[in-house]
Structure formats: C-alpha cells, structure tokens
Amino acid sequence: MKLSLKEIAELIDGKIFGDENLIIKNISKIEESQNGDLTFLYLPAYEKYFPVTKASAILVKPGFNKTRKDISYIEVKNPNSAFFLIIEKYFKPTFNLKGIDNTAFVDTTAVLSENVSIGRNVVVSAGCRIGKNVKIFHNTVLLENVEIGDNSFLFSNVSVRENCKIGERVIVHSGTVIGSDGFGYEVDSFGVYHKIPQVGNVVIGDDVEIGSNVSIDRATIGSTIIKKGVKIDNLVQVAHNVVIGENTVLVAQCGVSGSTKVGNNCILAGQAGLVGHIELADKVIISAQSGYLNQLQNQGNTADHLYRNLKLLLE
Amino acid sequence: MKLSLKEIAELIDGKIFGDENLIIKNISKIEESQNGDLTFLYLPAYEKYFPVTKASAILVKPGFNKTRKDISYIEVKNPNSAFFLIIEKYFKPTFNLKGIDNTAFVDTTAVLSENVSIGRNVVVSAGCRIGKNVKIFHNTVLLENVEIGDNSFLFSNVSVRENCKIGERVIVHSGTVIGSDGFGYEVDSFGVYHKIPQVGNVVIGDDVEIGSNVSIDRATIGSTIIKKGVKIDNLVQVAHNVVIGENTVLVAQCGVSGSTKVGNNCILAGQAGLVGHIELADKVIISAQSGYLNQLQNQGNTADHLYRNLKLLLE
Amino acid sequence: MKLSLKEIAELIDGKIFGDENLIIKNISKIEESQNGDLTFLYLPAYEKYFPVTKASAILVKPGFNKTRKDISYIEVKNPNSAFFLIIEKYFKPTFNLKGIDNTAFVDTTAVLSENVSIGRNVVVSAGCRIGKNVKIFHNTVLLENVEIGDNSFLFSNVSVRENCKIGERVIVHSGTVIGSDGFGYEVDSFGVYHKIPQVGNVVIGDDVEIGSNVSIDRATIGSTIIKKGVKIDNLVQVAHNVVIGENTVLVAQCGVSGSTKVGNNCILAGQAGLVGHIELADKVIISAQSGYLNQLQNQGNTADHLYRNLKLLLE
C-alpha cells in the first residue's frame, strides 16, 4: 500500500488537517501504529492512546482537539466506517483457490456452474448443485443433493448434510456443521430415549455469514430456516425447526432451542439462550448470557441481562 | 409417499373422523402444510394454526373440537408420538455409503467386520476394530486402537483419538471430537502451567447419540465414561474422568467439569454447567443455564433455573 | 509397567510405610484400582474410597492415618503432584506419525525443517514455514503463509487460516479453528449488515495448548494475540483483536469478546464471558458462568460467580 493522504480523504469524503501529500504505507490500530501508518479514533476508551500513538495520520470526528502537531488528521463523520471503507477498498483478502483439485470428488450427477473452485479432498456428493464462482476449501464435505448459490464461500473442514440449501454470497467458516440431526427423542416408560428420525433440512438465505464451529440442525420435518442477511458468530447452536429472521445477529456461543422463531433485525448477544417453541418479534435484543423463557411480541423490546438486574438488587 | 388415511390410522391405532380413503402425499408442520398433507396438533401454542392450516388431515387428541369440515381427523392418544411413528415407518433416511472407498486408509492391522462402509479420505489407524454394518463418513479420522461396535454410524469430519471405545448403535455427528486430552496441569510457583499427560481413554456405551461439534476429553487415567442410552446434543463439553449415567440427556452447550459423576436418567438442560468432582443422583434435572456447585444426592431433585428464582425476587 | 515401590519412592522423594519390594503393575484412580495398582489420595471427597480400594499401594500426605494393613503407603508432601510425575515418567503417550504421507499436499514454496511429520490428506499451502519435529495429524489444513514453531503438535481436522503464526511446543487439538474471520459488520439504515474485511491474523506464543473445537478469530487489523503459556480448554471463543496474557487459563466454553485484553496469570472459569473492549489486570479470576462487563484494573480481583451472590440473597 502506498497512498497519499489526499487520495484517502477523497475516498472517504474527509477533510485534511495536515500534509495532504503524506504517503500512507499501512493501516493499524492506534495502540500498535508505526511511522507511516494511518489509524482512527472512535471509541472514547481508546483516546488514552492518542498522546502516544506513532501513527503518521489519524481519522477523527469533526471538531476533534488536534493537540499533536506531528500528526496529520482527516476529519470524517464516522471515523470507523471510513476506516472500514479503506480496508474494503485496499486490503480485502483474495483467495487463490482455482479449479477443481484432482483429489476432490465430484459425483457425476452433481452440477457445477462456471468458475467453481474446489480444494483438496473435498466431497461433492450425488445430486449437488453448485452455483457460479463458488469456492469450497479443502476437506469440506457435502452429502447428497446439497445446493449452494452463486458466489458463496465454504472454508475448510465444513460438513453439510444431505438436502440442505445454501443461498448466494453466503460465507461458511471452518468446522461448521449444517444439517446434523435435530435432537429429538421419544422417551418410554423405562426412561429409554428412542430417536425420532430427522427428515427435514436446513435452508440458508442469501448474504448469510456463519462463523466457525457452528451447529445448525436439520428440521424434524420441514426446514430449519436462516433468512437473508443473518450473521452468525462462532460456536452458536441453532436447533431443529428454528426460524431466524432477516438481518438478525446471533453472537458467539448463543443458542436457540427447537422450533423457536426469531424475528427480523434481532440481536442475541453472546452466550444468550432461548427456550423452544417461542416467538420473538422483530428488533428484539437479548442481552449477553440472558436466558429467555417467554414470548416477546412487542417490537423493540429488550430482555435485559440478568447480571445487571442483580446488580440493582445488590446495591 | 401415497397412503390412504385408513392405512395410517391402522399403523397408529387411531380413529378416523372423515374420509378414510383420502390419499396422503406428505407430512408437514401445521403452519407449513399444503393440500394433501397430514399434520398433527399437540402443543396448545400451535392451536392458533388450526383455523388456517392447509393440511388435508390432522392427528388430534380424543375429544378435539372438530370445527373444520374440510379436514379429516384421526384421534389418537398421543398425536406427536403417532406422528413420529409415521416418520419412522415411511420417512427414515437411508445413506448410500457402500464399501471401502479407495481414498480411505485402513491400516493392515485394523480389523473390519462384515459390511463396513468407509467414505473418502477416512483414516482407520493401526489396531482399530470396526464392528459389522458400521458406516464411517468422509474425512473422519480414527487414531490407533479405536474400537467401534456393530451398527454404529460416524458422520463426516469426526476425530476419535487413540484407544477410545465406542459401543453398538452409536451415532456420532460431524465435527465431534472424542478423546482429546483432558485439561490438566500442574502450576509452579512462577504461575507457569505444566501439562499432565492424559493417558486414559473415552468409553462410550451402546445406543448413545452424540451431536455435532461436541468435545469429550479422555481421562487422565482410567476412562471418561458415557453410559448406555445417553443422548448428547451439539457443542457440549464433557471433561476428563467424567461419568454420565445411563439414559441421561445433555442438552446443547452444557458442560460437565472433570471427574463429576452424573446419575442415570438425568437431564442437563441447555447451557447448564456442573463443577468438577461432584456426584449427581439419578433423575436429577439441572435447568437451562444453571450453574451447579454442590452434591445432589436425592433422586428426583431439580436444580432450578437461576432466572426463575430471580424473577420471584423481583416480583 | 513393572516397578518396585522403592523405585517409585525414589522418583517422587517419598517415604515408604510397608513393603518396599512390592511390584506395581499399573496406576489407577482410587475407586477403580485393582490388585497390583498404585493410587493416590488427595481430595477429601475421595477418602470414602480408602476403606474399599483394591489398590496395593497408595500415595498419601505425611501423617495420614494408615488404618489398613493390607496396603503399602508412600508419604509425600503433594500426593497428586507426585502421581503426575509418575505418569509423566512412565506413561507419557508417544505418537508414531512419521514422515510426510504421500496423500498430503505440501506446496513447493512451503519450507519444512527437519523431522517434520505430516499425516494423510493434510494441506500445507504456499509460503508455510514448519519448524523441526512438528507433527501435523490427518486432514488438518493450513492455508497460505502459516508459520508453526519447533516441536509443535496439531491433531486431526484442525483448520488454520492464512498468515497465522503458531509458536514452539504448541499443542492444538482436533476440530479447532485458528484465524477464522472476526465478527465485524457495519449496519446501514435499513438494518442490513455489511461485512468488514478481517485482514489481520492470529499470533500464538510458545507453550500454548488449545483444546478441541476452539474458535480463535483473526484480527480486523493487527493480530489476535495468545501469549506464551496460555492454556485454552475446549469450545472456547476468542474474538478478533483479543489479547490473552501469559499463563492465563481459559476454561471450557468461556468466551472473550472483541478487542478485550486479559492480563497475565488470569483464570476465566467455565462458561464465563467477557464483553468487548475491556482490560483485565493480571491475576484476575472470573468465576464460572460470570458475565463481566466492566474494567478490572486491580491485580488479584475476583469477579465472583453470580450464583453464589444470589444464594446469599435467598438465604
């Protein structure tokens, strides 16, 4: 990367205070910056690093008190958004997986669109349909009749069970399992559990991202549904017959029990849990580690973190 | 599927109210049913879908108020159990993995019984013993001396470490790790942790099912033991030297710390946790997200969900 | 194993009460011991097994009341440490992975030091650098430019993304993912989330051990850092740009949110969670299932378990 501050300011529509010809060599976090770096300041907690950062330039909010004269500034309304725009434009990683590796297995009945890349030891079973520009990394396994939409991306060691459908521009990170059997049993009078066959599938909409080591179970009948734009963090559990609404966020290690329906634009924070067979309205926020047992049918409700409630009690 | 309502009623020992010659083409959840479908009604929360379901027939409890005349009914004592019986009989999935794939590695000292199926890139190391009718899906790895009983089933990308023993009719879902090292260290006076070799194994009884991305650690010495009939959901942690009693259920994301012994027919609900070195009696229920610190030595005790306790306090 | 009690006493610097010529054939837990076994007694909860153990010899603390005459004793200050020393000396497992398997892929631009062992179907991508004596088990995948220090050990089905660095004597257990994308998005006015490219990496110090099915995300920019001597249990989540200090312990299923910095010699107990952008001082203990929201800037603080606090309230 070798860009002038002027070029950067134009990209992000910012106003320079300092040397517009300054050459930026890299981007970095404020506490790790070196000479030649561009950084940004957004959260107040990081202001303590401003007096000591070695960055040569910094993105700040309009009106920032520019006490250091050895740094150039770009004022911009949202310094973090602007910074991410620079990352998107100049640093977006590319992956050089190309073609179908000769150690991969692609069943003769599978249909591959143009420009599909398949890594080593990948298994694409009978009846699979893979959209154009899809990349499937090494050692990932698709069982029968899996469908993957255009421009999607599966990293290494992913497992997708039979009949599951993945949309377009979906990203699935390593170690994730899509379509494992739902956890369903009938218990008899001796306390012995008998498995209920799980004959449904998982349907994942467009623009979904799924982190690493996530488990999404197939439906008992019908589909477990992850709608368009959902973002799922690492180690999340989604049980059978769950429906996650559009643009909802499931943060790391949270869990959604069977048949629960989460609305659109909700947030389940880290390690939160929902019981089964409930419905959440749109725009509900479940705080970190909260366990939620009841219906939440009003838009915009927040199920607050138990910890905070307790603190009030103790004070 | 093409079955008359009469055939279905006979299978589940139900009583028809409506057209016994009606042809059922599919089964579905009440809120997703289409014309020609059979569905069922069991939980009160789903009664709201009865007036609008498009199903042609429905399983209901005896005495159900049959207000709709455009639907045929089968009365049966347990509509959900009856429904699962239909799934079991007509919809149980089959897996067409056959033979030993030529990309699999089976050590010359491994012993395979009749009718074993081994998928692509599977590793069966020295000294392994695999029972009859076992299916091992693609990219699963068994290290030395692993034993797997008859009719068991390992999905893709499973890892089983050396010397672990798996019983008959066991199902292990993708991404699960059996026999990783227990988390055991000695800390010195400088605060540095020194690894204690974990030289035991994991022993899994018959009829156990283990979900996806589960971690079951090997014992420091002796065995981590999962007894007959235990059902383990996704993303569960079972630490070294734990013993899980027969027909006990570990729901998603719960964790059992080292050397703890859980009795028979217990339930650990989702995200619950048990500290180490405790014993739970039989038939104990630990509610979702509960953290349990003490002995529970009376049968049938329930460690109630923290959340509910707190609610009482707040009201 | 065939050792005299005298040889064992010399190894652990203990004092024999009984038959110094007794031959020990195996080691075992007190409740599982057989004739010929050596066991140990350390936690009071296990004293109930002393009257009934079938062990032939037992390690005990000085002054232990030696009521059974059919057992030989070795008194030693720390019976458990002494026992682990015996395991380390006589039972430490060895792994017979040798050489580069012909089904493994090692890019021509990768650099392997002497005595590297690489199992079946392993992928070592372009630009990787692997230190001497490193063992990489079957079906593990390293993307481009991964570095692994001397004497490190990766078990099966591990995924390491591009540019991540792993130190010396590091152990990574099966199913673990290092360097998956951090969970970072910009949300627009329609509630749609746009991915922020995650262009950093993960840097893991020497002597770190990482359990099975762990997720450690790469930094947005810069590095997610796991410092020397850190021990991570199974199913732990470490988010982007986190820093974990030296000799800190992360117990199973705990989670650390983005950009949080944990000090040296801390302990996060099982299922604990930390919010993002906070700093913990050295020697902080976060109890099991605690959710921690604030700064902890005094050394040696303990964020106590919510459950215990609640119990006080209820009593």
* Contact: C234, B183; criterion CB under 8 Å: yes
Determine which one of A138, A173, A194, A240 is catalytic.
A240
CB atoms within 10 A of CB C129: 15
CA distance C214 to chain B (A): 10
> CB within 8 A of C191, min separation 6: which ones?
A247, A264, A265
Query: Please, are residues C160 and C178 in contact by the beta-carbon 8 Å criterion?
Result: yes
CA distance B11 to B88: 11
Cα separation, B263 vs B230, in Å, equals 11
Which chains reach chain B with 3 or more Cβ–Cβ distances below 8 angstroms? A, C
What is the DSSP annotation of B289-315?
T-EE-S-B-STT-EE--HHHHHHHHH-
- Which residue in chain B has the smallest CA separation from C250? B183
The verdict on a CB contact (< 8 Å) between B252 and A255 is yes
Predicted local distance difference test score (pLDDT) of residue B314: 32
What is the predicted pLDDT for the residue at B93? 86
Contacts of C189 by beta carbon, 8 Å cutoff, 6+ apart: none
d(CA B283, CA B267): 7
3-state SS class at B99: coil
Q: Least CA distance to C234: which residue of chain A? A: A235
Report how far residue C71's alpha carbon sits from residue C106's, in angstroms, rounded to the nearest whole number. 56
What does the pLDDT read at residue A286? 83
CA angle C35, C41, C42 (to 5 degrees): 160
HSE-CB of C284 using CA atoms within 13 angstroms? 24
Q: How close B207 comes to chain C (CA, Å)?
A: 24
Mean predicted lDDT score pLDDT of chain C: 91
CB-side neighbour CA atoms (13 Å) of B76: 26
Chain A residues lying within 8 Å of C253, measured CB to CB: 253
Ranges of residues in chain B with a pLDDT under 50 are 295-298, 303-315
Contact A196 B313 (CB under 8 A): no
Positive or negative: CA dihedral C189, C190, C191, C196: negative
Residue identified by tokens 């260290």 is: B185
Residue C60, pLDDT above cutoff 70: yes
β-strands A57-60, C117-118: how paired? unpaired
Do A267 and B265 meet the contact criterion of CB atoms below 8 Å apart?
Answer: no
Helices (runs of H) and strands (runs of E) counted in chain A? 3, 37
H-helix or E-strand spanning residue A230: none
Is A305 a known active-site residue? no
Which of C173, C194, C240, C277 is an active site residue?
A: C240
> Looking at the DSSP assignment, which residues form a beta bridge with residue B203?
B165, B225
Q: What is the dihedral of CA A60, A61, A65, A69, to 10 degrees?
A: 30
Q: Cβ(A144)–Cβ(A123) under 8 Å?
A: no
Q: Is the pLDDT of residue A299 over 80?
A: no
pLDDT-derived band at A304, boundaries 50, 70, 90: very low
Neighbouring C-beta atoms of residue C309, cutoff 10 Å? 17
| Residue showing tokens 């762990």 | C214
Q: What is the ipTM of this complex?
A: 0.91
The single residue listed with the structure tokens 């930026």 is A24
The minimal CB distance from A141 to the residues B92, B139, B173 is found for B139
pLDDT for the residue numbered B306: 37
Backbone phi, psi, residue C292, to 5°: -115, 130
> Rounded to a whole number, what is the distance in Å from the CA of C203 to chain A's nearest CA?
14
Q: Give the C-alpha separation, B43 to B80, whole Å.
A: 9
Residue A294, amino acid: N
Q: Residues B173, B194, B240, B277: which is the catalytic one?
A: B240
Query: Is C261's pLDDT higher than 70?
Result: yes
A/C interface, count of CB pairs below 8 Å: 163
Average pLDDT over residues C291-298: 55
Cβ-count burial of A139 within 10 angstroms (0-12 exposed, 13-18 middle, 19+ buried)? buried
Q: Do C293 and A307 touch (CB under 8 A)?
A: yes
Report d(CA A253, CA A192) in Å as an integer: 30
What is the percent of chain A where pLDDT is above 90?
80
Q: What is the pLDDT of residue C149?
A: 98
DSSP C309: H
Kindly list the distances between the CA atom of residue A104 and the CA atoms of A107, C159, C304, in Å, as whole numbers in the listed order. 10, 18, 51
Chains that touch A (3 or more CB pairs under 8 A): B, C
Q: Is the pLDDT of residue C310 over 70?
A: no
Q: Exposed, middle or buried: residue B233 (CB in 10 Å: 0-12, 13-18, 19+)?
A: buried
Considering chain A, what percentage of its residues have pLDDT values greater than 70? 92
Q: Chains near C, with 3+ CB pairs < 8 A?
A: A, B
- R_g over Cα of chain A: 24
Of the candidates A139, A143, A215, the beta carbon closest to that of B235 is on A215
Four-CA torsion C75, C76, C78, C83, nearest 10 degrees: -90
- pLDDT tens for each residue of B114-146: 999 999 999 999 999 999 999 999 999 999 999
Cα–Cα dist A209/A249, whole Å: 10
Top residue of A106, A215, A242, A260 to mutate, by most chain B CBs within 10 Å, is: A215
Inter-chain touch B255–C271, beta carbons under 8 Å: yes
Tokens of B257: 């710390």
CA–CA dist B91, C218 (Å, integer): 43
Contacts of C175 in chain A (CB under 8 A): 157, 175, 213
Question: Among partner residues C174, C209, C265, which is closest to B159 by beta-carbon distance?
Answer: C174
Q: Do A255 and B249 touch (CB under 8 A)?
A: no
> Is residue C91 within a helix (H) or strand (E), and if so which, with residue range?
none
Residue B162, amino acid: E
Whether residue A173 has pLDDT greater than 90: yes
Looking at per-residue pLDDT, the higher value among C261 and A308 belongs to C261
N- to C-terminal Cα distance for chain A?
53
* Angstroms from C201 CA to nearest CA on chain B: 24
Whether A218 shows a pLDDT value over 70: the answer reads yes
Would the CB atoms of B156 and A143 count as touching at under 8 Å?
A: yes
